[in-house]
Amino acid sequence: MSPGQEPVFPEYETEASQTSKLLRKFKETPFVPIGMAGFAVVVGYGLYRLKHRGEMKMSLHLIHMRVAAQGFVVGALTCGVLYSMFREHLMKPKE
C-alpha cells in the first residue's frame, strides 16, 4: 500500500491483535460468548451423561442433547437482541 493511500477497510487493517479484537467484540455483544459457553456446557454434560443413559436409545439421547444446546444458544441470542434494542431505543438520550 502506498503511503498516501487510505485503507479500504481500516478496521481490518489496524495493528490490533486478535485477542484485543475478540475482547472488543465480547464487550459489544456479551450474549454471544454466553451462548457459546452454554452450548459447550450442554454438549459436555450430554456427552458425560451418554454413558449413564440407561435404556434410552442413543438417537433419542442425541436429539435431546441437540435440542437443549440449540435452545440455550437461541435463548442467549434472543436475550442479546432484546438487550441491544433496550439499550438503543429506551436508554438512548433524547435528542
Is the Cβ–Cβ distance between 53 and 61 less than 8 Å? yes
> Angle, to 10 degrees, between the axis of helix 18-28 and the axis of helix 31-50?
100
Domain ranges of the chain: 60-94
Is the Cβ–Cβ distance between 72 and 24 less than 8 Å? no
pTM over 0.85: no
Chain segment 1-54, per-residue pLDDT in tens:
556 666 666 655 556 778 887 788 788 778 888 888 888 998 899 888 888 888
Burial group, residue 80, by CB count within 10 angstroms (0-12, 13-18, 19+): middle
Give the largest Cα separation in the chain, rounded. 70
Give CA–CA dist 45/66, Å, rounded: 12
